[in-house]
Amino acid sequence: MSLRHHVSKRAAIAAVAAVLASTAAASVASAHQQTAAQTPRLSQAKILFELNATAQDAGIQALLDAEGWDNVQVFSPDGELLLEIQADGSVGDIGVTELFFESAEPSLADLPLDQLQAMFPEGKYRFAGTTVEGQKLVGSATLSHDIPGEPHVVSPTEGAVVDPNSTVVAWEPVTQPAGIDIAGYQVIVELPEPLRVFSVDLPASDTSVTVPAEFLQPGTDYKFEVLAVADNANQTIHEGTFSTAG
């Protein structure tokens, strides 16, 4: 057999081997993709710091949402198990969907912000659980230590008496700390007794909202909050009070 035939034979064998190897690799990759596609993911996962600049306290909050799960665990970036929830009985049978929780909010005098943040380092927090059908459920959320500054409210001033037909809550845009990106604001007005709440979410371009006259009653005391919400989900609250004339 000539050298050319030997070379051609070896080349043919190598070509076949390459095709087989490529096919095997593609099959493995396809299997991994199918497995990933079949693993349900949380439709929403969020973890954040909430700072109350008026009350001078802070805490951690998390939100997750998925279709029908009976177990979920939350892990820190270094793999520490932070929270596990197991649904049993009838709730376990039909499953949980949305879950929101917040930690206690110790005063900054008792637990300074830097110490709280040391307890919850920046990075990706992993969520893992199971659906009521027994499928694995996964998700993740990134926690940042960048917290927006306090909204400076220009009206109403603290304890002001306002016209219930034209009550406007207004504030200056939050631009601190440097580099923070504000996603939007939330305004909450509360009548404590009996409890009634007006709440609205606003884009970052808005810095005022008119409280509907239908919500307010004359001669009544109200609490209100303005929250600056960063694009990393962290939020800072300013609290205040006002009374309506009448």
Condensed to tens digits (0 to 9), the pLDDT of residues 17-68 reads: 444 445 445 544 544 454 445 778 899 999 999 999 999 999 999 999 998 9
User: Residue 37: its pLDDT value, please?
Assistant: 52
User: Cβ distance 61 to 132 under 8 Å?
Assistant: no
User: Residue 22: its pLDDT value, please?
Assistant: 52
Q: Collect all residues with Cβ–Cβ distance below 8 Å to 113 and sequence separation of at least 6.
A: 51, 58, 147
Rounded to an integer, the average pLDDT of 91-107 is: 95
User: Cβ distance 239 to 224 under 8 Å?
Assistant: yes
Q: Collect all residues with Cβ–Cβ distance below 8 Å to 75 and sequence separation of at least 6.
A: 81, 82, 125, 126, 127, 128
pLDDT in tens, 142-174: 999 999 999 999 999 999 999 999 999 999 999
Residue 4 confidence (pLDDT) above 60: no
